[in-house]
Chain A
Amino acid sequence: MLSKAGTRLMQGNEACAEGAIAAGLRFFAGYPITPSTEIAEELALLLPKVGGKFIQMEDEIASISAIIGASLAGAKSMTATSGPGFSLKQEGIGFASYTEVPCVIVNVQRVGPSTGVPTAPAQGDVMQARWGTHGDHPVIVLCPSSVAETFTLIIEAFNISERWRIPVIFLMDEVVAHMREKVVVPDVSRIRLAERPRPQVAPDQYLPYAAGEDLVPPMADFGSGYRYHVTGLTHDQTGFPTTKAPEVDALARRLDAKMKRAAPHVTFVDELLVDDAEVAVFAYGVTARAAAKAVRDARAQGLKAGLIKAKTLWPFPSEHVRRVAERARAIVVPEMNMGQLVLEVERASAGRANVVGLSRVDAEPITPDEILAKLREV
C-alpha cells in the first residue's frame, strides 16, 4: 500500500522507504543486510507503483555506483545498508561528494566492527559517516530518533541532497529501524520538495562545475541535450581533469564553502528544557529517547536538566552546544559507542562546561536510569 494521509502503525525501515518515495525517490539500488533489509523489501514493492525503479545489485559497491548513475540520469536515488556495507560504499560516497551528485545513503547501524551483532543496536558509525571516505570533503549526516521522525527527516535528506548537490547520509540505528510506532502520514501532495538546480543556459554555454552565488553548480541530466563530462579526477569548472594547483585548491575550497553556506539550512536540533539547565544531555538516535525521559525524571527530582537532541550530526551543531555550555555546569553525552560525538561536544563547549561521556557497548540501548544517574553525579 502506498502512503496515504492518515494515522498508521509503521516500522522505522518502512517509514524510511515511504518517506523517501514521498520525497520523490525514483531509483533504489541495494544489497540485503540486517538490520536495513526491510527498506529494500518495501521499496521493491512500492517503487514500481509510482513508476520508480528498484534493483538488487550484486554487492554494496555496485549499489552505490548504480544510484550515482541513476541520479546523473535525473532520478532521485537512494541506497540502504548497515555497517559492513557502509564501509564498502565509502569510495562511491567520495565519488558522489566530489562530483556533487545528489543521493541518499541510509546506514542502519548495528554492533560492530566486522559482522558484530547484526540484530542489535549501536551508534558506532558516527565518525565513519563523517570521515569514512578517503580525501577531505564535507558531508551531511542526519539521524532520526523515532519512526515518525524517520518519515519527515528522510524527506529533508532528499531535499538537502538535491538543493545542495551533496550526498546525504541517513544514520539510523537498529532500534529505530525495527520498532513500530504511530505515524501521522501527511498528504503527500502537500509536502514541500526541493529539486536540484538546473542549467539556465544553452548547452554550448554550460559549464557543469561553475557555481553561482550559492556555490551550487546547476546540474543537467544525462540525455537532456547537455553533453558534459563527469569524472572523479579533480576537475575544473568545465568538468574536465586538472592538476593545476589553483584549480585543485578552488574545488576543495568551494565544496567546503558550499557546506558552510548550507549549514544553517541543514542543521536540525530539538532542545528540551535547556534554557535554565544546570546539567544537560547531548544525545541522538534512540539514545535521545532515553535522554528525554532522564531529563524529565531529573526535573521531577528537582534537578534542572535539559536535552540537546541532534537530528543533524554533521555539520556538527556546535552553536547549540556552545549556548547550552554557557550556562550548564556539565553536559553528559550518552552514546552506544566508546565515545565519538562526545569529542565534538567537548570541542564545541571549549571548556565552558564539564563534558562527560557515557558509553554502552553491550548491544543494548542506554536506559533513562543510566543517564539520570550520570546527571546526578556530574
Chain B
Amino acid sequence: MAMPVTHYLRTSKMPHIWCAGCGHGIVLGAVLRAIDSLGLDKDQVCVVSGIGCASRAPGYLDFNTLHTTHGRAIAFATGIKMAKPELKVIVLTGDGDAAAIGGNHLIHAARRNIGITTVCFNNSIYGMTSGQYSPMTPTGSLASTAPYGNIEEPFDLCDLVYAAGASYVARGTAYHALLLSKLIAKAIATEGFSFVEAITQCPTYYGRRNNMRSAVDMLKWQKEHAVPVAAAAKMSAEELVGKFRIGELGTRTRPEYTGRYAAVIEAAQKEEAEEDA
C-alpha cells in the first residue's frame, strides 16, 4: 500500500528553503513517490547532493543523507556505492551542480555505469546565488551574469549522459509530475547508472527576468514545449525546434561497475589462494 510522502520526510525540518512557486517540491515529491512505488527500505536508501537549491533536498528526507561540496555529489556517491553496493544510492542535483562544476563526475559515472541514480533538477539558472546563467540556460535568456542575453548554447544533458554510457536516461518536468515519478522509479530500478533530467521552474530568478512572471506561466511553458518521445519520433526537425522531448530517451544493458569489481575481487582472491598453495 502506498505511503504518503510524509512517511519519507523529516517534517520537523520544514519549512523548506525553497521560494514560493519553485518546482523543486514537485520534483522531490516525484522522487519520493518513485521510492515508495518500489517499496524500498528507508535504511537502505542513501541520498547524496552537492550545493545549490536542489541539493538542499536531502536535509528534508528520512534516509541516510549526505549534503556534500559543490559539484561532487556523484563522486561522494561513488565511494558510498563502492563501499556498500547493496545501498540504493540516489543523487539529487541541480543544473549548475551537475552540468557545470560537476560535469566531469557526471560523464565518468555514466561511463563506468556505476549503479547510482542521478536526478537533475534543471531550472536553467543558479538560484541559490540569485540568478546567474548555467550550462542549461537557454541561449538568449537573461541572467544576472548575462545581462545582454546568454550567448552560450545549453547542453542536451540526456544526450550527453547517454553518449557517455549510462544505462537509463529520461526526461520529465514538474508539470508532468506523474510521468516524472514513473521515470524516476524506472531509473532507480535500473542496475547501472541512470539519469533523469527534471525540468522545473524558478520563477524568482529565471521566470521574472524572462517574461514568465509566475510559476503558472512557467508550468504552462513546460506543458507547451514538452513533446513525448513517441510523438517526437513522428515530427520533423523543424517542428521540434524550441521543443524538448520527455519520456525514456535511452535504455541499454551494460555490466554495472560494482558488479564488475566484485568479479575483480573474486579473481584476485583466487590468484592469492593459488600463490599461497
Q: Do chains A and B touch in the complex (CB under 8 A)?
A: yes
Which residues on B sit within 8 Å (CB–CB) of A372? none
Task: For B13, give the chain A residue with the smallest CB separation.
Answer: A240
1/0 contact string of B242-266 vs chain A (CB within 8 Å): 0000000000000000000100110
**When the two chains form their complex, are residues B43 and A223 in contact, meaning their CB atoms are under 8 A apart?**
yes
Size of interface on B: residues with Cβ below 8 Å to A: 42
Least Cβ distance of A1 to chain B in Å? 7
**When the two chains form their complex, are residues A27 and B79 in contact, meaning their CB atoms are under 8 A apart?**
yes
**When the two chains form their complex, are residues B84 and A73 in contact, meaning their CB atoms are under 8 A apart?**
yes
Q: Is A283 an interface residue (CB 8 A)?
A: no
Q: Is A233 an interface residue (CB 8 A)?
A: yes
CA distance A70 to B66 in the complex (A): 12
Given the interface contacts A65-B69, A69-B66, A222-B46, does A49 sit within 8 Å of B76 by beta carbon?
no
**When the two chains form their complex, are residues A227 and B62 in contact, meaning their CB atoms are under 8 A apart?**
yes
Q: Is B78 an interface residue (CB 8 A)?
A: yes
Least Cβ distance of B98 to chain A in Å? 14
Which residues on B sit within 8 Å (CB–CB) of A61? 72, 75
Q: Is A51 an interface residue (CB 8 A)?
A: yes
Which residues on A sit within 8 Å (CB–CB) of B104? 58-59, 62
**When the two chains form their complex, are residues B84 and A27 in contact, meaning their CB atoms are under 8 A apart?**
no
Which residues on B sit within 8 Å (CB–CB) of A95? 68-69
Q: Is B198 an interface residue (CB 8 A)?
A: no
**In terms of DSSP, what is the predominant structure of the interface of chain B?**
helix
CA distance A53 to B80 in the complex (A): 11
**When the two chains form their complex, are residues A223 and B65 in contact, meaning their CB atoms are under 8 A apart?**
no
Complex partner residue of B76 from A2, A65, A227, A229, CB under 8 angstroms: A65
Q: Is A92 an interface residue (CB 8 A)?
A: yes
CA distance A167 to B270 in the complex (A): 34
CA distance A213 to B83 in the complex (A): 30
Size of interface on A: residues with Cβ below 8 Å to B: 46
Complex partner residue of A68 from B42, B64, B79, B267, CB under 8 angstroms: B79
Which residues on B sit within 8 Å (CB–CB) of A227? 42-43, 62-65
Least Cβ distance of A40 to chain B in Å? 15
Which residues on A sit within 8 Å (CB–CB) of B272? 2, 49
Which residues on A sit within 8 Å (CB–CB) of B68? 65, 68, 95, 232
**When the two chains form their complex, are residues B59 and A229 in contact, meaning their CB atoms are under 8 A apart?**
yes
CA distance A229 to B78 in the complex (A): 18
**When the two chains form their complex, are residues B83 and A53 in contact, meaning their CB atoms are under 8 A apart?**
yes
Task: For A26, give the chain B residue with the smallest CB separation.
Answer: B83
1/0 contact string of A3-29 vs chain B (CB within 8 Å): 000000000000000000000001101
Least Cβ distance of B22 to chain A in Å? 18
**When the two chains form their complex, are residues B79 and A69 in contact, meaning their CB atoms are under 8 A apart?**
yes
CA distance A32 to B76 in the complex (A): 19
**When the two chains form their complex, are residues B275 and A229 in contact, meaning their CB atoms are under 8 A apart?**
no
Least Cβ distance of B170 to chain A in Å? 24
**When the two chains form their complex, are residues B75 and A233 in contact, meaning their CB atoms are under 8 A apart?**
no
Which residues on A sit within 8 Å (CB–CB) of B86? 223
CA distance A59 to B72 in the complex (A): 11
Q: Is A124 an interface residue (CB 8 A)?
A: no
CA distance A241 to B13 in the complex (A): 10
Least Cβ distance of A299 to chain B in Å? 48
Q: Is B269 an interface residue (CB 8 A)?
A: yes
Q: Is A66 an interface residue (CB 8 A)?
A: yes
**When the two chains form their complex, are residues B66 and A55 in contact, meaning their CB atoms are under 8 A apart?**
no
Q: Is B77 an interface residue (CB 8 A)?
A: yes
CA distance A224 to B64 in the complex (A): 9
Q: Is A135 an interface residue (CB 8 A)?
A: no
CA distance A22 to B222 in the complex (A): 56
Least Cβ distance of B60 to chain A in Å? 9
Which residues on B sit within 8 Å (CB–CB) of A313? none
Q: Is B24 an interface residue (CB 8 A)?
A: no
Q: Is A74 an interface residue (CB 8 A)?
A: yes
**When the two chains form their complex, are residues A233 and B67 in contact, meaning their CB atoms are under 8 A apart?**
yes
Q: Is A230 an interface residue (CB 8 A)?
A: yes
Complex partner residue of B64 from A65, A70, A222, A232, CB under 8 angstroms: A222
Chain A, 178-203, CB within 8 A of any chain B CB: none
Which residues on A sit within 8 Å (CB–CB) of B268? 45, 48-49
Q: Is A246 an interface residue (CB 8 A)?
A: no
Chain A, 69-120, CB within 8 A of any chain B CB: 69-75, 77, 91-92, 95
Q: Is A302 an interface residue (CB 8 A)?
A: no
**When the two chains form their complex, are residues B75 and A66 in contact, meaning their CB atoms are under 8 A apart?**
yes
Task: For B65, give the chain A residue with the smallest CB separation.
Answer: A229
Least Cβ distance of A207 to chain B in Å? 14
Q: Is A264 an interface residue (CB 8 A)?
A: no
Complex partner residue of B87 from A29, A65, A73, CB under 8 angstroms: A73
Least Cβ distance of A182 to chain B in Å? 23
Which residues on A sit within 8 Å (CB–CB) of B105? 58, 62, 65
| A-B contact sample (18 more), CB < 8 A, given A53-B261, A62-B78 | A27-B83, A53-B82, A53-B83, A55-B78, A58-B105, A67-B79, A68-B76, A69-B80, A70-B82, A74-B84, A91-B69, A95-B69, A222-B64, A222-B84, A227-B63, A228-B64, A230-B66, A240-B13
Q: Give me the interface of A with B, judged by CB distance under 8 Å.
A: 1-2, 26-27, 29, 45, 48-49, 51, 53, 55, 57-59, 61-63, 65-75, 77, 91-92, 95, 221-225, 227-233, 240-241
Offer 21 A-B interface pairs, CB within 8 angstroms, sorted by A. Answer: A27-B79, A27-B82, A27-B83, A45-B268, A48-B261, A48-B265, A55-B78, A55-B261, A69-B77, A70-B79, A72-B79, A73-B83, A74-B84, A92-B72, A95-B68, A222-B64, A227-B42, A227-B64, A229-B10, A230-B66, A231-B67
A-B pairs, top 4 by smallest CB distance, nearest first, are A69-B79, A66-B79, A65-B75, A70-B79
